[in-house]
Amino acid sequence: MTTVSGAADAFDAKSLKANKSSSRNLFNIIMTTLAGLCIALALVPLVLVLFYVFVNGANRLDLDLFTQLPPPPGSAGGGISNAISGTIIVVAISTLISVPIGVLCAIWLAEFGGDDTSIDEYVRFGVNMLAGVPSIIAGVFIYGIMVRPGRPGYSALAGGVALAVLMLPTIIRTTDEALKIVPQDIRWASLGVGASKYQTVLKVVLPAAIPSILTGVTLAIARAAGETAPLIFTALFSPFRFSGIDNPIATLAVLVYNFAILPFKPQQELAWAASLILVLLVLITSIIARIATRQKTY
């Protein structure tokens, strides 16, 4: 009887274990399917947007689009060469301003900051707050400083400064994290052979973190290239070619805004073409960021 009872208990235990395993497998299958559906739902808007922009903008991708100026309202033909070059110029200005400031700020936070109760925690909090500020607020801020009556006025420089404000949080946070993941042993080895703290940071730690820093910079550039509201308040728009950083300048984002609301089909076609070019610029910068992240940080 004892043997029969023990066999029955063992059978019940195996049965219970099999039921639990079956329940776990069923739960895993359900959750995996649910996660797959969520991924598909997340990709649907992206695919639809890319498809719609490509369908409406691809028919205007020709040489004239990249070499000619926008035509008068209602007229066919022309291009958006001034907006393409203007976007590159404004983003270049913002990059030249934000990258040195952002990288140096991150170096101070990661390498020279104090303990958790020191000022670096307040700086990080301020950076996080700046990252959440709406882009239009940055535009209004720079408008009040550089554009409003009595100031220099609408200009490419003002637009670049506004975009630099938006780029700073991304650059600071990504550079800060990139420096933190560089192994401490590398710093100790440099200090052990007689290098100073500044020499270690500039010649050892910073070069090791360059791939991740470039990723943050390219992501910040991708965001800045598509901003519209700050540029409406600062760079405004110009139907002419670039004539200096102290003058209004055309950009792709503002051109899309201006032309999309016009009742003329030629201008609407140019707006779609400009949208496609913006998407391609963001795609290129994202690819660059992915290539950079494949490189070892150390």
The CA–CA distances, whole Å, from 223 to 90, 94, 216, 228, 271 equal 13, 12, 11, 10, 19
- Amino acid at the residue 249: I
- Alpha helix (H) ranges present in 58-150? 63-67, 81-107, 119-131, 135-142
- What pLDDT, on a 0 to 100 scale, did the predictor assign at position 271? 93
Q: 190-203 b/e with 16+ CB inside 10 Å = b? A: beeeebeeeebbee
Beta-carbon neighbour count of residue 88 at 10 Å? 15
- With CA atoms as reference, report the closest residue to 167 among 214, 224, 93, 105: 224
- With CA atoms as reference, report the closest residue to 84 among 62, 60, 68: 68
pTM of the model: 0.83
The CA–CA distances, whole Å, from 272 to 48, 62, 115, 275, 276 equal 15, 13, 51, 5, 6
Q: State the Cα–Cα distance between residues 270 and 215, nearest whole angstrom.
A: 31
Q: Which mean pLDDT values do the consecutive 10-residue runs of the chain (298 residues) have?
A: 52 57 77 90 88 89 90 86 93 94 91 69 87 91 86 88 94 91 86 84 87 87 89 91 91 92 90 92 80 61
- With CA atoms as reference, report the closest residue to 213 among 289, 110, 162: 289
What's the CATH fold of domain 63-293? MetI-like fold (1.10.3720)
Q: State the Cα–Cα distance between residues 228 and 237, nearest whole angstrom.
A: 11
120 within 8 A of 109, measured Cβ to Cβ: yes
- What pLDDT, on a 0 to 100 scale, did the predictor assign at position 223? 85
